[in-house]
A and B are shown apart, each in its own frame.
Chain A
């Protein structure tokens, strides 16, 4: 509690608040643009945080994350196209509501349910992360190795259509992580004579390449549109179409709370993202509703279900990052990189060494939620303006930002070359349905995987049995095996069924 008060004091300065709000505003606007993902926004914002102190830097990035989550729903509602994948479920009822003249009502419901779910999820994070970190402090190298293997398997399994492609992507990620100086022997690996490669492949060049450049390359394949989106909504003058009444909020509260529980629980498991959660909660809300037939035709509760489901993930996804040092999705992988740049290694020891920073961040999360609520309605107007920008103008701007943003990390053109290499790799992987998230997360976890494996083998003098004789490690390995068996069994079942039955 005392630390919490110190955290409040650390976070609540005008300077920090300004950066947090700036982050939220950028997130909302970028999130509202179809094709520009939250990840892209964060990737391009990280280079700007290098010279900042840890607290405003991380607060700003969290702001982008949270703002982006809401921003995605703006275009979902106004132009019938989700600004981010996570807002796909919001389209189902948000767009029909906008066509009925209830655009503002839908937006406000999206905002309120987002902020409610997000805030509750953050509270769970604050309660759960510290004890979990204390437990994780007792993990030795074998436990850490098995935990990373388990996390990577889940991420590979849920991020794409095919488990095997996800695993291939993850393996490539670990391979890229071995480039550079060997952590134990200090010799060079896969540097091919380039001095620049000794320090390894940078996380940010890889990130910007995989998630910004490759996105643009895929996008320019299709004919470019004059504007980012056409407004399909009608604006009604009736006041009840422009606001959410307390009674309506109360009616949806059950759905919002269900979304919060679902999102928080699933968000804490590495790999399960907000898109899945939004659809799951939407389905559950429809089944629980007295009027399931209204869903998909502009039901307020549908918007609440989707938005609470996807936003509740935001807080919970930080649980494995802060307490175990394991990023569960791309955004947390980037945050991990941002922490590292600031000289802070997320994980169980962080609560000891940087306790104040963590509690300041907890306060920062709340500030960002408030910021969302404050800026949400203003940003809708800004986003409307942004959506008028033609694609053919927006894409060159982003490509120039990718160049200068990557260069700025280390004043290095080599990084820009690496970034572009990953842009092309990402493009090819997207074309053949290989998920990018496992590659990035495996790349981030690669050193942890290798170090724990080697340390464990040194402990056991080379006997691999150490991984199955220690109970926690064995537990994680059994869970890994169960995950794979479950997926393979489901796959075989699906193949036996006649086509079209899936």
Chain B
């Protein structure tokens, strides 16, 4: 039995307090100046208060459950890590190469083992997408600084 809702409510409540007292004064230009309803921090402060009240209510009414929630099992983690690698790789080696590498990695990660499927998809799909977006839609895809 775990009370996930209560844990999340506590986290949200802490966040709303930090938001109200620290983040808003720090990250909003012109916070605390000006008159009626005009200050840039007016709305964010009300949002923080609303979030605080809601999470307090959630904390009180939260009930424990028998269900186990498993966050980020391994396959999800690897899926996320590969996407982060994709974002990091694209500006370095360009759209085409990074897409081919990541596509192949995803296919292998999800268990595709046939060499033909792997080759056709990881080489072909990025080329098709590249041609469509770069040549038809005229998007300037990442070129890659390492290869120039």
Contacts and interface: CB of A to CB of B under 8 A. Distances in A.
Given A185-B30, A188-B28, 4 more contacts: A220-B76, A400-B125, A417-B87, A454-B43
B61 to A, nearest CB: 7
A172 interface: yes
B94 interface: no
Contacts, number: 159
Interface string A189-214: 11110000000000000000000010
A297 B50 CA distance: 48
Contacts of B43: 174, 178, 449-450, 453-454
A36 B111 CA distance: 20
B110 A395 contact: yes
A51 B84 CA distance: 29
Nearest to B139: A408
A488 B73 CA distance: 36
Contacts of A165: 58
Interface string B1-23: 00011001000100000010001
21 contacts: A51-B137, A168-B58, A171-B50, A175-B19, A185-B34, A187-B28, A190-B23, A391-B110, A393-B107, A393-B117, A395-B110, A399-B79, A400-B102, A400-B126, A407-B139, A411-B139, A413-B91, A424-B80, A432-B4, A453-B43, A461-B36
A220 B81 CA distance: 14
A368 B96 CA distance: 36
A479 to B, nearest CB: 19
Given A399-B83, A399-B106, A192 B27 contact: yes
Interface of B: 4-5, 8, 12, 19, 23, 27-30, 34-44, 47, 50-51, 54-55, 57-58, 61, 69, 71, 73, 75-76, 79-80, 83-84, 86-87, 90-91, 95, 99, 102-103, 106-107, 110-112, 117, 121, 125-126, 129, 133, 137-142
Interface string A411-433: 10100110010011001100110
Contacts of A168: 12, 51, 54-55, 58
A190 B40 CA distance: 11
Contacts of A220: 75-76, 79, 110
A167 interface: yes
